[in-house]
Copies of this chain bind each other. A is one copy, B any other.
Amino acid sequence: MLKLSTSDPGFAAAFDALVGARREADADVARDVRTIVAAVRDEGDAALAAYTQRFDGHDLNDTGWRIERADCLAAYQGLSEELRDALDLAATRIAAYHAKQIPEDRDETDASGVRFGARWRPVDAAGVYVPGGRAAYPSSVLMNALPAKAAGVERLVMVTPTPKGEINPLVLAAAHVAGVDEIWRVGGAQAIAALAYGTARIGAVDVVTGPGNAWVAEAKRQLYGVVGIDMVAGPSEIVVVADGDNDAQWIAADLLSQSEHDPTSQSILITDSATLATAVADAVDLMIGTLSTKAVARAAWDANGAIIVTATLDEAIPLVNALAPEHLELACDADVAQGLFDRVRHAGSVFLGRHTPEAVGDYVAGPNHVLPTGRRARFSSGLSVLDFMKRTSFIACDADALAAIGPAAVALAEAEGLPAHAKSVALRLTR
């Protein structure tokens, strides 16, 4: 864990190094992924079966290619009532939040009589990738599938690897709650390629979202353009800005809630209280030992944790904007938090006040937990219904409207050396 103070003489350089540190895997997976993608494109289901045998250790023709909706219902019914209620509450709130993201169409006619506007429509089909193993989270199913449903996507496909044939019932229950239409037991780059190109069994989709390992991320990057994708995600991260009136235990838990995700996760506390800084560092050390995730949390905190002491809380804001964090907690009184938030330019999602731990956003608050990482909040946004919709603009002129704006189009087309452009307008200006 890195300790810094803005009053250190070397602070600027040390902070720049923290901002610039790359935590993303440098694995040279691009070539492997190209091979896999080409094989799935050319050989379809046969390639899927072969890669599944090789990477997941089971034969799809024995274990079955699909998971049926009845299996998802059974998984849901098999949960404790508490978990069912929690999933239902989460789904209801997430669906309600995203339903309000549907953009309004435009249809206007201006003073020249030119009618123009834009119309939003859902994509026909969307695919959600759900990892196997450590990161198989039902909350991710909800956060990816429900915006697609809210957008009005008619065919929602889930792909998920089932290593050695094992299925995660929580993921199936979440698929039931989210209304996923099809589930295929394939994962990795081969699953992304199947969704992008389609195979005999699996129909192609228009957009693929969802988290995955380096192979999955690279496949999405390579297939971007063949299919729409969400932003390629890197390791998770949180910045907690906290004044001295915080309970060190609460803040320690917040920091560790990122650290426990993955050894590459980053947690940074920025505080104007040296006392809190010390108390939180101590609380983290004690709390880690109590966690079932202690090995991961310890590795992440040691490698990527940081505590930065500032002279004032205001001094935290330029640091936050430079870090452009995925998650930002402003742990102070509500009015102070709001004042700080007003000056935040770059962050994926912000958690205001002392009673808003980031984890409520992971599960139940409503806004999406798929957020830009690795400083990408400078230019990109969390997942939304917009990722599952597209806009068609339109223009309509009658003869008078074309007479008003057409001559300028002719002049510009001629200046650009595009005579057919000019002619297509000029011919119509004569009547």
**Chain B residues within an 8 Å CB radius of A3:** none
Asked whether B225 lies within 8 Å of A392 as measured between CB atoms, the reply is no
* Oligomer copy total: 2
A114 and B92 CA atoms in complex are apart in Å by 14
Asked whether A416 lies within 8 Å of B292 as measured between CB atoms, the reply is no
Asked whether B353 lies within 8 Å of A397 as measured between CB atoms, the reply is yes
Within 8 A of B (CB), among A313-348: 334, 337, 341, 344-348
A207 and B372 CA atoms in complex are apart in Å by 14
A364 and B411 CA atoms in complex are apart in Å by 11
The one of B345, B394, B399 that contacts A355, using a Cβ cutoff of 8 Å? B399
**Chain B residues within an 8 Å CB radius of A293:** 417-420
Determine how close the nearest CB of chain B comes to the CB of A359; give it in whole angstroms. 4
Asked whether B341 lies within 8 Å of A394 as measured between CB atoms, the reply is yes
* Chain B proximity mask over A218-258: 1 for CB below 8 Å, otherwise 0: 00010011011001100000000000000101100110110
The one of B349, B359, B418 that contacts A425, using a Cβ cutoff of 8 Å? B359
A402 and B357 CA atoms in complex are apart in Å by 9
A114 and B89 CA atoms in complex are apart in Å by 14
Determine how close the nearest CB of chain B comes to the CB of A428; give it in whole angstroms. 5
Asked whether B420 lies within 8 Å of A256 as measured between CB atoms, the reply is yes
Which chain B residue lies CB-closest to A79?
B415
Binds B, one of A6-14, A66-74, A118-126, A157-165: A118-126
Asked whether A420 lies within 8 Å of B227 as measured between CB atoms, the reply is no
* Residue A362 at the chain B interface, CB threshold 8 Å: yes
* Residue A360 at the chain B interface, CB threshold 8 Å: yes
Q: Count residues of chain A with CB under 8 A from any CB of chain B.
A: 122
Q: Among the interface residues A372, A379, A380, A384, which one has the most CB atoms of the partner chain B within 10 A?
A: A379
**Chain B residues within an 8 Å CB radius of A391:** 381-382, 384
* Residue A54 at the chain B interface, CB threshold 8 Å: no
Q: Among the interface residues A106, A293, A365, A384, which one has the most CB atoms of the partner chain B within 10 A?
A: A365
* Residue A295 at the chain B interface, CB threshold 8 Å: no
Asked whether B124 lies within 8 Å of A378 as measured between CB atoms, the reply is yes
A410 and B76 CA atoms in complex are apart in Å by 18
* Residue A297 at the chain B interface, CB threshold 8 Å: yes
Asked whether A207 lies within 8 Å of B368 as measured between CB atoms, the reply is no
**Chain B residues within an 8 Å CB radius of A393:** 348-350, 361, 367-368, 371, 382
Which chain B residue lies CB-closest to A359?
B421
Asked whether A366 lies within 8 Å of B114 as measured between CB atoms, the reply is yes
The one of B170, B292, B350, B374 that contacts A415, using a Cβ cutoff of 8 Å? B170
* Residue A278 at the chain B interface, CB threshold 8 Å: no
**Chain B residues within an 8 Å CB radius of A259:** 420
The 11 listed contacts between A and B (C-beta, < 8 Å) are: A138-B416, A225-B232, A247-B427, A250-B428, A260-B418, A260-B419, A293-B419, A355-B398, A355-B401, A360-B402, A365-B405
Q: A118-B367, A124-B378, A348-B393 are in contact. List 11 more A-B contacts (CB 8 A).
A: A83-B411, A86-B411, A86-B412, A97-B116, A225-B374, A253-B427, A349-B392, A352-B395, A356-B396, A359-B424, A365-B395
